[in-house]
Structures are given as C-alpha cells and as structure tokens.
Amino acid sequence: MLTETSSLSGLIVSLRELDRPLMAHWAAVHETFLHWVERPDFRTHLRNYVLGLPAAEVAGRARETTTHFAWCLLDDPSADFSLWLHEYKPQRDWRLGYADSVHNHRYHFSSTMVHGSYLQEHYDATVDPESGLITSVAVRSCARCTTGSSGTMLAADFHRIVSAEDDTMTFLVKSRPVTASSLSYDIESGVAHRHVPVENRLGGLSARI
C-alpha cells in the first residue's frame, strides 16, 4: 500500500483523510504530521521524494526570502495544504527583514527540523485596532530547536527566528491562507509593517495605472 512504501506519500494520504476544512482541525493535522516525521526513516523517504520531483516544477515554485530558500514540494490545487522545505542561508548572508523580526503568518503550519538548529522566540503582540499594526511585543518563551524537534503555529501566533546554524533545514505542512496579510514588528526600531503578498494586489492593478 502507498502508506507502507513511502512515508511522505503516506503523510499526504493521511492529511487528505482528515476532517475538512483542514484549517479548522489543525491539532489533528499536527498529530498526523508528528506520526510520520518522527519515524526514524522519514528523512530518507523525504530525500527520495524530492529526487523524484520534476526539477523544473520545484524550481518554478521556489521562493527566496531574506533568511532562507523556500522549496515547495507539493501544491495541489485540489488540496487545502502544501508541503515545503525551508533551507536557511548562512547567518552571514541574512538581511534584516521578516524572519528575524517578530511576525506571524497568513497560514497555520507544522514543522520539523530536518537538520541544523535555530533559536526561536515566541511573543505576545499588541495590535492597534485602528491601524491594524503591532504597537508592542513581549517575549513569552525562548528555545533552541534542534534536529528532530517539531512544533506548530497558528496564523494568530507571533514568533521570531533569532539565529540559525549553517545548513539548517526544516520541513513543513502549511494550510491555505487564513488571513489576507501578515504582520511584523522590528524590536530595535519599533517599526511595524503589514505584509500583503503580491498576488493579492493583482485585483486593483488596473486602477493603479
């Protein structure tokens, strides 16, 4: 059976079998995710799955951020989740920006550390009801995530990746967007931003010409 021959294919099948909408049952998603990624042979299956993907498709869906390369391994329009590898750049190549600021995401996600480690802080954030921007933050916890460790975050949660070892890589399952934008807050400058993905700006493009 598919679930017996490939851990990653088994994870995909198991995620498809969960109650819908998936974003409303993220605790079940995380439990399913842990069931597969904590298997001792999961990294081998993950590597083999990547080797079997069409290189042009993976390259076409890839994104580069200020701190890491994001490789999309699965983005089926019929599925309400996607699978990703985040390959962190060497610390010397990081540019100040999103990941090392206090921020949330537009989606829920669960992740596991394939190899390497990073220092992660979780925050409580105060959001101004009028501007919709973060006005202050307070650190809630700080921990180093190491190879094999896993975690989950909802779209309303805030965190910061302080630093990462060279060659750090994480594997993630993401929900479809829960919100239209995300927020960030730079601790040193106190500057807050709202991040709207470029595809969400397309609708008003002609009016801005």
129 pLDDT band, cuts 50/70/90, is very high
Predicted confidence at residue 97, as pLDDT, reads: 67
- Assess contact for 203 and 142: CB atoms under 8 A: no
Half-sphere exposure of 32 (CA within 13 A, CB side): 22
In degrees rounded to 5, what are phi and psi of residue 193?
Answer: -140, 150
| H or E element, residue 172 | strand 169-175
Predicted confidence at residue 5, as pLDDT, reads: 53
Looking up tokens 């598919």 gives 2
Q: Burial code of 69-103, b = ≥16 C-beta within 10 A, e = fewer?
A: eebbbbeeeeeebbbbbbbbbeeeebeeebbbbbb
- Assess contact for 80 and 21: CB atoms under 8 A: yes
Predicted confidence at residue 82, as pLDDT, reads: 95
| H or E element, residue 162 | strand 158-164
State how far the Cα of 6 lies from the Cα of 45, in Å rounded to an integer. Answer: 6
- Minimum mean pLDDT among 6-10, 66-70, 81-85, 108-112: which range? 6-10
First to last CA, the chain: 54
Tens digit of each residue's pLDDT (9 = 90 or more) over 195-205: 888 877 777 77
Higher pLDDT, 103 or 99: 103
Higher pLDDT, 57 or 4: 57
Predicted confidence at residue 77, as pLDDT, reads: 83
Looking up tokens 């049952």 gives 25
Residues 6+ apart with CB under 8 A from 179: 106, 155
What is Dmax (Cα atoms) for the chain?
A: 54
State how far the Cα of 63 lies from the Cα of 190, in Å rounded to an integer. Answer: 27
| H or E element, residue 84 | strand 81-88
